[in-house]
């Protein structure tokens, strides 16, 4: 008998129990154990019905992703599910936690499903570049119909038990906390009432109702906008459509063909890398998992601007009280008003209830007095990027906050050690770099200073998890990891336009790669005045910052979306960037002023110069120890800048391109332009020489 799946009988119910921590994933051992336990249950003449239940935190959460890419060992999951569905005895699945992917598919192979009200179900394979490959695309529509099946399978959404009941996916919801008791009660009911073996594959009413509808074309059209460049979402639609066009056995075959196409796609490799990278990044290299973590039960925020307000919402959303301090009542009122507006918008869209909004607003207190920070566990400074101002603030915090309070800065580029130097507690000072909009973007770039203690590092990583962010711990340098690489890309993007490319050509190369928006559309979103002010400050400080056509835009008041004109123009109420001939004229005049003869520039050159310069900079970041692993950089770019998860992140993508190819290009550009920008990273050269990958780091 397998030790991960056991069979026992209680009364006249045979109980099949899966116990394979952490999430009962369907490893080979579990699949084999499921077959063995089913066979025992079939032979057990005293068992009049069978119950499938899981130990631990959740019902089966899916196929064992760690097995992907390795030779599949029989029995495959689809055959396990088929054996369960063909059981001569009624089979009940009792679901708790998250029944996902192959887990839900296994439950759909059973004849009845009961779920705890706290449970959720889903088919999130699409998030791994796959599709449900064990009958989910054929069975779910037979219970929930075409529309709901397509929604669930193309988005991978988790559906709460009560909704699943309404959709027909589960047959009963139990308000208790004991999933086995819930399962036993339902199984006993099946026996006592003589309820039949009811195979999902035989259900036809939902298929008949939706046959011939054009819902599939509608989904394909909408996916063209939302799943730009992705492969598996479209295959999901094809698979579900087969349930309506083919008999069940042929539909299963069609699902299998499409699943194999997805499994063989480079996008599957990228998405699974992203899945594990996100989890690995939360385990800081060299930081013991037993490092003590301080309690963070109250938070102070300095600055009620866009960032401060967004940061505050993250804490209120998880029930942590927040005090926001501003200098002036007017700024405070404005900031609190924006928070309220954000919550009202979410409530209007049904994302939160009015009560949730009221509870969250009640957790946020405005103040003009720093003394209100004296008892908080964590303070996050979110004022504008000026070192002198930040140093003054931290000196003040140091004198007010209690011992053990963590003092964090949301700075996006500035030196954490210099900020910490104004306090008597540098070990309690850290960077917590949120990404705008802070209540939406999932990345939290935690920046360790040279004196930041392990406890504080562990605490801010735990805070990231608590506020549902993806935390990455990085080292202290100008721009840390994300913005340091972005800065290099920005230099190349600007140079490419100087040399003859149009802004929209550069942006299209980046959006075709899968970014949600290009370099210049991003400038318009952030505001061109932000970069202009920084350049002017540097020039006034005597730095040599060359003039740029972007400055001309700022000087003409073309600041981006907020003035409906920047690099692009915008129609009233629209964020859609429209190329503007006026800007092309400004750029042409600038080229003439600078004596630049413009030339045709290929998309390939744009891709190489925008992306390879970042890969080279990332190699420098790794060799300097600013990032511990290549996967940390992948996570920063996926969750901070929208780099497509289906390409695995810039490091995973570079390994797929080939570091030798990238190094040759870097050396070519270095030969033509020289300087630091393209100086080949020693690490890159070493990896190529050793035949290793960035992913090996």
Site for ligand T1G, rule CB under 6 A: 22-23, 25, 61-66, 77, 98, 100-102, 105, 124-125, 128, 130, 132-134, 136, 279
Cα separations in angstroms, 103 against 31, 52, 132, 327 = 11, 11, 10, 53
Q: Minimal distance in Å, beta carbon 263 to ligand T1G?
A: 8
Q: Which residues contact 273 (CB under 8 A, 6 or more apart)?
A: 631, 634, 648, 649, 652, 695
Specify the DSSP element, H or E, that contains 434.
strand 429-434
The residue among 14 and 129 lying less far from ligand T1G, judged by its C-beta, is 129
Q: Minimal distance in Å, beta carbon 123 to ligand T1G?
A: 7
Q: Minimal distance in Å, beta carbon 97 to ligand T1G?
A: 8
Return the residue matching tokens 């032979």. 43
- Residue 282 CB neighbours (<10 A): 15
Q: Minimal distance in Å, beta carbon 276 to ligand T1G?
A: 6
Q: Minimal distance in Å, beta carbon 251 to ligand T1G?
A: 15
Contact 622, 630 (CB under 8 A): yes
The residue among 136 and 680 lying less far from ligand T1G, judged by its C-beta, is 136
Return the residue matching tokens 């089966």. 60
d(CA 596, CA 130): 48
The residue among 26 and 554 lying less far from ligand T1G, judged by its C-beta, is 26
- Is 125 assigned a catalytic role? yes
Q: Minimal distance in Å, beta carbon 235 to ligand T1G?
A: 13
The 3-class secondary structure across 562-581, one letter per residue, is HHCECCEECCCCCCCCEECH
The residue among 124 and 680 lying less far from ligand T1G, judged by its C-beta, is 124
From the candidates 85, 105, 255, 278, give the one annotated as an active-site residue.
Answer: 105
Q: What are phi and psi of 477, to 5 degrees?
A: -155, 175
The per-residue DSSP string of 460-507 comes to: HHHHHHHTT-EEEEE--STTTTHHHHHHHHHHHHHHHHHHT--HHHHH
Q: In 359-399, where do the E strands start and end?
A: 364-367, 378-381
Specify the DSSP element, H or E, that contains 121.
strand 120-122
From the candidates 10, 39, 125, 588, give the one annotated as an active-site residue.
Answer: 125
For residue 291, the SS3 value is coil
d(CA 189, CA 193): 6
The residue among 125 and 241 lying less far from ligand T1G, judged by its C-beta, is 125
Return the residue matching tokens 């744009």. 606
For residue 634, the SS3 value is helix
- Is 385 assigned a catalytic role? no
Length of the chain as a residue count: 697
The residue among 132 and 270 lying less far from ligand T1G, judged by its C-beta, is 132
Decide: residue 367, CB within 10 A, 0-12 exposed, 13-18 middle, 19+ buried. middle
The residue among 79 and 297 lying less far from ligand T1G, judged by its C-beta, is 79
Q: Minimal distance in Å, beta carbon 151 to ligand T1G?
A: 17
The residue among 442 and 533 lying less far from ligand T1G, judged by its C-beta, is 442
Q: Minimal distance in Å, beta carbon 192 to ligand T1G?
A: 34
> b/e map of 626-642 (b: 16 or more CB within 10 Å)?
bbbbbbbbbbbbbbbbb
The residues annotated as belonging to the active site are 105, 125
């Amino acid at each position: 008998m397998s030790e991960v799946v056991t069979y026992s009988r209680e009364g006249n119910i045979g109980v099949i129990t899966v116990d394979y921590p952490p999430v009962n994933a369907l490893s080979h051992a579990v699949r084999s154990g499921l077959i063995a336990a089913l066979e025992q249950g079939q032979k057990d003449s005293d068992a009049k019905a069978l119950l499938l239940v899981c130990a631990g935190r959740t019902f089966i959460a899916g196929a064992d992703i760690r097995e992907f890419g390795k030779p599949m060992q029989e029995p495959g999951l689809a055959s396990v599910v088929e054996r369960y569905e063909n059981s001569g005895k009624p089979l009940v699945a009792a679901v708790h936690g998250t029944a996902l992917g192959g887990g839900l598919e296994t439950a759909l192979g059973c004849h009845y499903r009961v779920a705890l009200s706290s449970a959720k179900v889903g088919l999130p394979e699409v998030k791994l570049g796959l599709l449900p490959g064990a009958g989910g695309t054929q069975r779910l529509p037979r219970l929930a119909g075409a529309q709901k099946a397509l929604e669930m399978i193309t988005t991978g959404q988790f559906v709460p038990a009560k909704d699943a009941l309404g959709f027909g996916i589960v047959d009963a919801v139990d308000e208790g906390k004991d999933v086995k008791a819930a399962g036993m009660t339902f199984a006993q009911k099946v026996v006592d009432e003589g309820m039949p073996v009811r195979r999902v594959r035989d259900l036809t009413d939902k298929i008949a109702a939706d046959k011939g509808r054009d819902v599939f074309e509608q989904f394909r059209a909408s996916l063209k906008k939302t799943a730009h460049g992705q492969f598996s979402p479209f295959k999901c639609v094809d698979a579900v459509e087969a349930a309506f066009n083919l008999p069940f056995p042929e539909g299963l075959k069609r699902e299998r063909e499409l699943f194999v196409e997805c499994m063989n796609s480079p996008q599957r490799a990228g998405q699974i890398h992203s899945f594990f990278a996100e989890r690995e990044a939360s385990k800081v290299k060299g930081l013991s998992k037993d490092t003590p973590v301080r309690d963070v039960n109250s938070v102070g925020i300095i600055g009620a601007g866009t960032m401060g307000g967004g940061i505050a919402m993250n804490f209120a959303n998880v029930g942590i009280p927040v005090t926001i301090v501003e200098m002036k009542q007017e700024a405070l009122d404005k900031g609190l008003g924006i928070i309220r507006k954000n919550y009202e918008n979410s409530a209007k869209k049904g994302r939160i209830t009015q009560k949730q909004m009221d509870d969250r607003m009640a957790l946020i207190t405005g103040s003009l007095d720093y003394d209100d920070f004296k008892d908080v566990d964590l303070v996050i400074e979110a004022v504008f990027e000026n070192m002198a101002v930040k140093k003054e603030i931290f000196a003040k915090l140091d004198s007010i906050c209690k011992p053990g309070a963590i003092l964090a800065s949301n700075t996006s580029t500035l030196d954490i050690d210099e900020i910490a130097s104004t306090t008597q507690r540098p070990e309690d000072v850290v960077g917590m770099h949120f990404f705008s909009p802070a209540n939406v973007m999932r990345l939290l770039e935690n920046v360790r200073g040279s004196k930041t203690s392990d406890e504080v590092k562990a605490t801010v990583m735990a805070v990231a998890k608590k506020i549902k962010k993806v935390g990455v711990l990085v080292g202290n340098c100008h721009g840390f990891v994300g913005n340091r690489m972005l800065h290099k890309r920005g230099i190349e993007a600007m140079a490419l336009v100087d040399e003859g490319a149009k802004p929209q050509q550069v942006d299209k190369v980046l959006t075709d790669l899968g970014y949600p928006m290009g370099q210049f559309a991003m400038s318009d979103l952030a505001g061109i005045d932000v970069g202009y002010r920084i350049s002017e400050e540097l020039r006034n400080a005597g730095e040599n910052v060359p003039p740029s056509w972007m400055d001309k835009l700022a000087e003409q008041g073309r600041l981006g979306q907020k003035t409906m004109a920047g690099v692009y123009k915008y129609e009233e109420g629209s964020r859609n960037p429209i190329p503007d001939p006026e800007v092309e004229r400004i750029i042409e005049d600038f080229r003439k002023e600078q004596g630049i003869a413009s030339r045709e520039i290929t998309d390939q050159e744009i891709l190489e110069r925008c992306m390879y310069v970042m890969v080279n900079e990332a190699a420098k970041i790794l060799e300097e120890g600013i990032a511990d692993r290549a996967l940390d950089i992948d996570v920063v770019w996926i969750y901070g800048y929208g780099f497509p998860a289906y390409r695995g992140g810039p490091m995973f993508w570079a390994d797929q391109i080939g570091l030798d190819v990238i190094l040759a290009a870097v050396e070519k550009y270095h030969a033509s332009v020289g300087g630091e920008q393209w100086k080949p990273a020693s690490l890159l050269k070493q990896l190529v020489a050793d035949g290793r990958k960035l992913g090996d780091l």
